[in-house]
Amino acid sequence: MHSPWIAALMALFLWWFATGAILIVVRLCERRGDAAGRRAVLLALPVLGAGIWGYEATLGLTGVGAAYGAFLSALAIWGWIELSFLTGAITGPNRRPCPAHLPEWERFLRAWGTVAYHEMLLTGVLILVWVFGHEAANSVGLWTFTVLYFARVTAKLNLYFGVPRINTEFIPRALSHLGSHFRIAPVGWFFPGSVTALSLAVACWLERLYSAGQPGEVVGFALLSAITALALLEHWLMVLPVPDAKLWRWMLPAPKHATKKTRPEGHHGF
């Protein structure tokens, strides 16, 4: 567990497993009705509580176990918030599809309305994470959540501004209106800036991994390097014709009802 390669593989596995677990819960809730999603979010509150407790408990610790614990805690907090979004429990006030040919300012306001409560919750949690952890000895949890936050924001903005490939396969029925706010388009000005920033972040973590002296630091920077590289990969999958949805499609129960696609599909997972 002291090896940076093991830590990177652990991050890869947790990314795949956590994404698949959330998608399974969301798909099962769809089959049981709208109220099932809200129940799932409430039943998952212990996961959120464990994440908050783990984040606070590992702030002053610097060993290998603390690095893994902080990373897992940040993922638990992030996973609960994502579950609340994908089940439709915490989204935004606008749940209507976006009409075509709107002025750009109105299109942006409508798109913001679809995710407003979720984004405000994420931002509030990010602020709290920094308030309590910015001077802590263990910053793995802080930077894990921060990387996930900014990668998610840039991913959503890229979907809004336009990318060549968008896959709506995993969008839940409760969020079926989201697809109408995406835009299939050639790569624009925002995408290069996004991947450049994430590439620089990966390079930063790798440089710190190379210079790290303590086992806890080695594991922590390996975890951060891996999760940031995965965020970078997810951005490139908006452009490259890679069928990454197959990573999870095989493990998901079939949807109860087929949903109408509001935008043409590409090949990357949402």
In the chain, how long is the greatest CA-to-CA distance?
Answer: 56
Assigned domain for 270 exists: no
Alpha carbon 186 to chain centroid, angstroms: 23
189 belongs to a structural domain: yes
256 occurs within a structural domain: no
Is residue 143 situated within a structural domain? yes
All residues at 6 or more sequence positions from 82 whose CB lies less than 8 Å from its CB, including other chains: 22
Q: Domain count for the chain, please give it.
A: 1
Q: Is residue 14 situated within a structural domain?
A: yes
Range of the domain at 204: 4-249
Contact 11, 230 (CB under 8 A): yes
The whole-model pTM stands at 0.91
User: pLDDT tens string for the chain (270 positions)?
Assistant: 788 999 999 999 999 999 889 999 998 888 887 788 899 999 999 999 999 999 999 999 989 999 999 999 999 999 999 999 999 999 999 999 999 888 999 999 999 999 999 999 999 999 999 999 988 999 999 999 999 999 999 999 999 999 998 877 778 888 889 989 999 989 889 999 999 999 999 999 999 999 988 999 999 999 999 999 999 999 999 998 877 777 777 667 766 654 444 433 333 332
Q: What is the pLDDT of residue 268?
A: 36
Give the amino acid at 212. Answer: A
Kindly state whether residue 59 falls inside one of the protein's structural domains. Answer: yes
Residue 164 maps to a domain: yes
